[in-house]
DNA sequence: TAGGCCATCTGGTCCT
DNA sequence: AGGACCAGATGGCCTA
């Protein structure tokens, strides 16, 4: 059990004392930390005790920094646990939002689900395509032009050939969907 | 095995 | 003051 290997600050000192910040970051305070649960969406193993003790933006040479505090080590650890829980919930809700976004974006069905960056990129393309359709229906000039992926240096840098092909497929699918949608709208407005 | 993607922890900063 | 948000760090899983 990992949690047993790492000392819990409050077990040694529960007074209002100076405590190295490192001590707090080592331990989540729960015995189930070492047991990973599986992610129902991906089947991935999920670590309950994530980054290392030295992680964090404050790790820039301040790992031995001491700080006077007016609360006990136990209290601080409790706050940290609560913050961790809130952060976890926040990230879960963010992931839920990504999942909902995946469901409304037309894309080629793949064995694996869209990654977050793919989801955002496709959503952006979809919005741009929809915007163009609206402009077209209004008889206005199209707002966006879909760049030829071959000439898009950023895309070339960021995507593999498979991804480029998929992007092309998705863009053409956007176009087909939009044309169908546009036809339906035309019919309904007659 | 390297690289991509991800979940989680963590501390700093912003906001209410 | 406390919660939300953010970004850095780390390690696990998966795939080419």
pLDDT digits (tens, 9 = 90+) for A138-184: 999 888 887 654 333 333 333 334 444 455 555 556 655 555 544 44
- Contact yes or no for A30/A21 (Cβ under 8 A): no
Is A39 within 8 Å of A95 (Cβ atoms)?
Answer: no
What pLDDT score does A180 carry?
52
* Nearest one of A116, A120, A124, A107 to A168, comparing CA atoms: A107
**Those residues with Cβ within 8 angstroms of residue A145's Cβ, 6 or more apart along the chain or in another chain:** none
Most confidently predicted of A6-10, A14-18, A28-32, A108-112:
A108-112
Torsion sign across C-alpha atoms A119, A120, A121, A124: positive
pLDDT of A40 higher than 50 = no
Mean pLDDT of A54-68: 37
pLDDT at position A189, please? 30
Q: CA(A139)–C1'(C13) in Å?
A: 50
Predicted confidence at residue A103, as pLDDT, reads 86
Under a CB-based contact definition with an 8 Å cutoff, are residues A169 and A108 in contact? yes
What pLDDT was estimated at residue A171?
56
Cα A8 from Cα A63, distance rounded (Å): 18
Per residue in A124-143, pLDDT (tens digit) is 999 999 999 999 999 998 88
Element (H, E) at A20: strand A19-20
pLDDT of A68 > 90? The answer is no
Q: pLDDT for A77-109, tens place per residue?
A: 888 888 888 898 888 888 888 988 988 988 777
Find which nucleotide's C1' atom is closest to A55's CA: C9
Percent of chain A with pLDDT over 70: 39
pLDDT of residue A26: 37
This prediction's pTM: 0.62
Q: What is the pLDDT of residue A190?
A: 30
A57 CA – C10 C1', rounded, Å = 13
Strand B closer than 7 Å to the CB of A134? no
Which residues 10-69 of A interface with strand C at a CB distance below 7 A?
36, 43-45, 47, 50-52, 54-57, 59-60
């Amino acid at each position: 059990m990992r949690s047993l290997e790492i000392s819990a600050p409050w077990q040694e000192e529960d007074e209002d004392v100076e405590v190295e910040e490192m001590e707090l970051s080592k331990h989540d305070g729960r015995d189930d930390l070492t047991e990973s649960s599986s992610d129902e969406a991906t089947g991935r193993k999920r670590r309950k005790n994530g980054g290392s003790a030295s992680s964090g933006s404050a790790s820039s040479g301040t790992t031995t920094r001491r700080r006077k505090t007016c609360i006990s080590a136990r209290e601080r650890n409790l706050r940290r646990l609560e913050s961790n829980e809130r952060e976890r919930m926040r990230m879960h809700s963010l992931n839920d939002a990504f999942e909902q976004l995946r469901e409304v974006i037309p894309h080629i069905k793949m064995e694996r689900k869209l990654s977050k960056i793919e989801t955002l990129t496709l959503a952006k393309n979809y919005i741009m395509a929809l915007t163009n359709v609206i402009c077209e229906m209004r008889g206005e000039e199209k707002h966006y032009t879909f760049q030829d992926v071959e000439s898009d240096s950023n895309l070339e840098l960021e995507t593999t050939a498979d991804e480029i092909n998929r992007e092309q497929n998705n863009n053409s699918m956007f176009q087909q969907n939009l044309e169908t949608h546009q036809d339906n709208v035309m019919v309904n407005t007659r």
